[in-house]
Amino acid sequence: MLDGFYVIDKPVGVTSHDIVSRVRRAIGQKKVGHTGTLDPFATGVLPVAVGEGTKAIQFLDESEKEYRAVLRLGIATDTQDLTGQVVSERDWTGVTPADLEALVPRFTGKLSQLPPMFSALKQGGVPLYKLARQGKEVEREPREVEIYSLTFDWIRLPEAAFTVRCSRGTYVRTLACDIGEALGCGAHLLELRRLKSGLFLEAEAITLETLQEAADKSELLMPLDRALDHLKSFELCEEAGRRIANGIAPQVQDLPPGALDELKQDEEVRLYVAGRLAAVARCDKVRGLRLARGFN
């Protein structure tokens, strides 16, 4: 049984669900799931959990994402990217590269973003994109997102490439659309590539073909330890490990002296027994630790 994460370099034209199905076939395991959906037209970093890795998805730190994108001024589409239907065409010829650069401060920091209709967000249990395909548009609540940095890599009007570091939940398509509206000519995305999702990086991404052809597929795995490396860790005795295996949280005396003082309320930590990851627990300043998830 393989346990951990594959950092897949998603190709254009396939869904994130398609990637999960292909990984499942490549490794001969059913327990596979992805984190952080990528649109079919997008490429790049797609973390795929396998085996016990699927239990760890909820504990990942994917608070920061990084993307490289290409926008096209003058044309707006209903999907905010090149796959959609054109909804408006406006003159962009009055726009200069300096106009784009001048917008960077306006689109950096905390922003209010209206989720697009063509998205996986659900309303009444139905994904918005399904309603959009029926020609329906429903009211959506704006969400606060944060743009940590935004830089234009090149500007060859009416196209421009930019790199953005942003918070989880940011729609880069919507960012491009909003930039176009701020310029008065509209815009949509031609390309989108995810370079980073938390600690999962483009430099470590592998293609599906590489995974399929690998003789030892475990060598390509990111282990659970590393995927959860942002969490503090404590080593427990074997007796505490046996209790954890039975769903019983460790006692205060099982932890190193002063361990709880290092933690914040509800902070998540890794628990190890004999050097093996046994569980993730949450700090309870009153009761000690509460088990969040055990690992086999």
Q: What is the pLDDT of residues 153-190, one digit of tens each?
A: 999 999 999 999 999 989 999 999 999 999 999 999 99
- What DSSP line would sit under 262-283, residue for residue? GSPTT-EEEEEETTEEEEEEEE
Which tops the pLDDT comparison, 131 or 234?
234
Encoded tokens for 138: 């429903």
Q: What is d(CA 210, CA 194) in angstroms, rounded to the nearest whole number? A: 19
* Predicted TM-score (pTM) above 0.95: no
Where are the domains positioned within the chain?
4-62+199-226, 64-197, 231-294
Please give the pLDDT value at position 289.
85
Question: Architecture of 64-197 per CATH?
Answer: 2-Layer Sandwich (3.30)
Place 261 in a pLDDT band, splitting at 50, 70 and 90: confident
As a whole number, the mean pLDDT across the chain is: 90
Q: What is the mean pLDDT of residues 227-231?
A: 93
Please give the pLDDT value at position 136.
59
Domain 231-294 in the same topology as domain 4-62+199-226: no
Dihedral sign for Cα 127, 129, 134, 137, please: positive
Encoded tokens for 126: 């139905």
231-294 to CATH, choices 2.30.130.10, 3.50.50.60, 3.30.1330.20, 3.40.710.10: 2.30.130.10
**39 belongs to the catalytic site:** yes
Please give the pLDDT value at position 10.
97
pLDDT in tens, 28-76: 999 999 987 898 999 999 999 999 999 999 999 988 999 999 999 999 9
Instruction: Provide the H-helix boundaries in 5-121.
Output: 16-27, 53-56, 97-102
CATH 3.30.2350.10 matches 4-62+199-226: yes
Q: What is d(CA 159, CA 117) in angstroms, rounded to the nearest whole number? A: 24
Catalytic residue, chosen from 9, 39, 81, 254, is 39
Q: In 10 A of CB 84, how many CB atoms?
A: 19
Please, are residues 32 and 82 in contact by the beta-carbon 8 Å criterion? no
